[in-house]
Amino acid sequence: MRRFLVALPPGALMALVMGACAQLQPQFEGKVESDVDVAAVAAPPSEDKPEVPPRMQAEFDACLAGLRDDAAAAGISAATFTANTRDLVLDPGVLALLNRQPEFTTPIWDYMAGLVDEERVADGRAMLARHADTLARAQQRYGVDPATVVAVWGVESDYGRTFGTRPLLVSLATLSCFDRRQAFFRGELFSALQIIQSGDIDADRLRGSWAGAFGHTQFMPSTFQRIAVDFDGDGRRDLIGSVPDALGSTAHYLQRAGWRSGQPWGYEVRVPKGFDARLAGRTDRRALSDWLRRGIERVDGRPIDLPGDTRAALLLPAGVEGPAFLVFKNFDAIYAYNASESYALAIAHLSDRLRGGGGFATPWPTDDPGLSRKERKELQALLLARGHDIGEVDGIIGSRTRDAIRQEQQRLGHAVDGRAGQRLLRALRAQPQAPAGPDALAQVGRWKLQGATDAAGQPIAAVAPHGKPVHAIVLSDGSLGIEGGCNHMGGRYDIDAQGRLVVQEIQSTLMACADQALMTADSAVAGLLQGASAWRIAESYPEQLYLEHADGRRSHWVAVRPAP
Ligand SMILES: [Ca+2]
The DSSP annotation for 463-525 comes to --GGG--S-EEEEETTEEEEESTTEEEEEEEEE-TTSEEEEEEEEEEE-----HHHHHHHHHH
Strands (E), 46-193: 166-167
Q: What is the pLDDT of residue 551?
A: 63
For 399, other C-beta atoms within 10 Å of its C-beta total 19
C-alpha 229 to ligand 1 mean position (Å): 7
Question: What residues does 314 pair with on adjacent strands?
Answer: 326
CA 196 to ligand 1 center in whole angstroms: 14
pLDDT of residue 447: 47
| CA of 12 relative to ligand 1 center, distance in Å | 42
Task: Name the packing angle between helices 118-130 and 146-157 (round to 10°).
Answer: 130
- Cα 248 to middle of ligand 1, angstroms: 10
Other CB atoms closer than 10 Å to residue 429's CB: what's the count? 11
Identify the CA nearest to 166 among candidates 98, 227, 222: 98
Q: 114, 371 in Cβ contact below 8 A? A: yes
What pLDDT score was predicted for residue 510?
Answer: 43
Distance CA 362, CA 355 (A): 19
What spacing in Å lies between the alpha carbon of 160 and ligand 1's midpoint? 16
How confident is the model at residue 504, as a pLDDT?
A: 57
pLDDT the model gives residue 100? 83
Average pLDDT along the chain, 564 residues, taken 10 residues at a time: 22 25 30 34 41 91 97 98 95 90 82 96 97 98 98 96 93 96 96 98 95 96 97 97 98 98 97 93 96 96 96 96 97 93 96 97 96 94 86 88 93 92 94 50 42 49 37 54 53 56 52 48 52 53 58 59 38
pLDDT for 386 equals 83
Its pTM stands at: 0.71
CA of 80 to the centre of ligand 1 (A): 22
- Cα of 231 from ligand 1 centre, angstroms: 6
Rounded to the nearest 10 degrees, the angle between the axes of helix 341-354 and helix 108-115 is 40
Q: How much distance in Å is there from the Cα of 242 to the middle of ligand 1?
A: 6
Q: How far is the CA of 200 from the centre of ligand 1 (A)?
A: 8
Q: How far apart are CA 285 and CA 370, in angstroms?
A: 31
Centre of ligand 1 to C-alpha 23, Å, is 21
> What strands lie across the sheet with 286-287, from one edge to the other?
286-287, 311-315, 324-327, 266-270, 297-298
- Cα gap 461→416, rounded to integer Å: 29
Distance from the CA of 42 to the center of ligand 1, in angstroms? 26
Could you tell me the distance, in angstroms and rounded to a whole number, from the CA of residue 236 to the centre of ligand 1? Answer: 4
Residues with CB under 5 A from ligand 1 (ion): 230, 232, 234, 236, 242, 245
Q: Is 314 helix (H, G, I), strand (E, B) or coil?
A: strand
Share in percent of the chain as helix, strand, coil (round to 5)? 40, 15, 45
